[in-house]
Chains A and B, each alone.
Chain A
Amino acid sequence: MKLFLTIFFLLIMCFPAYSYIDPGTGSMLLYAIIGISAALLYAFKGYFYKLKSKITGKGYSLDSDLTEYDFVFYSEGKVYWNVFSPMLESLDKYGKKCIYLTSSSDDPGLSYKADNVKSKYIGEGVKAATYLNNVKADIVTMTTPQLDILTLKKSKKVKHYSYVFHAPTDIGIYGKFAFDNFDSILCVGNHQVVHIREFEEKRGTNPKKLFETGCTYYDVLLKKEQRTEKNQKPVILVAPTWGDNSLLAKFGFNILKPLLTEKYKIILRPHPQMYISQKKLIEEIKRESSNYSNLVWDDKPSGEDSMNESDILISDLSGIIFDYSFVFKKPVISIDAPIIDTGLELEDMSQDKLWELNTRDKLGKLVKEENISNLPAYVEELLMLFGKENIENIIEESIYNFGKTGDVAAKQLIELKESLKK
Chain B
Amino acid sequence: MVEILYYIFIFPLESGMRFVLIHTYNLFNNYGIAIILMSLVVNIVLLPLYYLAEHWQGKEREIRKKMQPELDKINNAFKGEKRYYYTKAIYKRFNYHPINSIRVSFGFLIQVPFFVAAYHFLSHYDGIAGVSFLFINDLSQPDRLLSFNNVVINILPFIMTVVNILSAYIYTKNLGKNDKVQLWLLALLFLLLLYNLPSALVLYWTLNNVFSLIKNTLSVYVFKVKSLT
Contacts and interface: CB of A to CB of B under 8 A. Distances in A.
Secondary structure call for the A interface: helix
Interface of B: 50, 53-54, 57, 60, 73-74, 76-78, 81-82, 84-89, 93, 97-102, 104-105, 107-109, 111-112, 115-116, 119, 164, 167-168, 171-172, 175, 179, 182-183, 186-187, 190, 193-194, 205, 208-209, 212, 216, 228-229
A213 to B, nearest CB: 26
Contacts of B183: 23, 26-27
B25 to A, nearest CB: 22
B84 A45 contact: yes
Given A28-B105, A29-B105, A39 B86 contact: no
A218 to B, nearest CB: 32
Contacts, number: 147
B77 A31 contact: no
26 contacts: A9-B109, A12-B109, A12-B112, A20-B194, A20-B205, A20-B208, A22-B167, A24-B50, A24-B171, A24-B212, A25-B111, A26-B168, A27-B182, A28-B104, A28-B105, A30-B182, A31-B57, A31-B105, A32-B102, A35-B98, A39-B98, A49-B81, A148-B89, A176-B77, A177-B89, A180-B93
A343 B78 contact: yes
Contact of A29 (B100, B108, B209): B108
A16 interface: yes
Q: Which among A13, A20, A42, A347 has the highest number of chain B CB atoms within 10 Å?
A: A20
Interface string A26-56: 1111111011101100110110010010000
Q: Which among B78, B102, B171, B193 has the highest number of chain A CB atoms within 10 Å?
A: B102
A49 B175 CA distance: 36
B89 A180 contact: yes
A34 B112 CA distance: 19
Contacts of B74: 176
A18 B108 CA distance: 14
Given A13-B109, A28-B105, 8 more contacts: A6-B99, A19-B116, A27-B229, A28-B108, A31-B101, A32-B105, A39-B101, A177-B89
A12 B208 CA distance: 22
B109 A36 contact: no
Q: Which among B81, B99, B112 has the highest number of chain A CB atoms within 10 Å?
A: B99
A205 interface: yes
B111 A6 contact: no
Nearest to B167: A23
Contacts of B81: 49, 52
Contacts of B88: 46
Contacts of B193: 17-18
A52 B81 CA distance: 10
B161 to A, nearest CB: 11
A205 B82 CA distance: 21
Given A19-B112, A31-B105, A35-B98, A203 B93 contact: yes
Given A29-B108, A32-B108, A36-B102, A23 B78 contact: no
A149 B99 contact: no
A393 interface: no
Nearest to A41: B98
A315 B19 CA distance: 84
Q: Which among A16, A28, A343 has the highest number of chain B CB atoms within 10 Å?
A: A28
A395 B86 CA distance: 35
A358 interface: no
A25 B183 CA distance: 10
Nearest to A31: B104
A20 B77 CA distance: 43
A5 interface: yes
A10 to B, nearest CB: 9
A382 B69 CA distance: 44
A2 B101 CA distance: 12
A177 B50 CA distance: 38
Interface string A154-196: 0000000000000000000000110010000000000000000
Given A180-B93, A343-B77, A20 B190 contact: yes
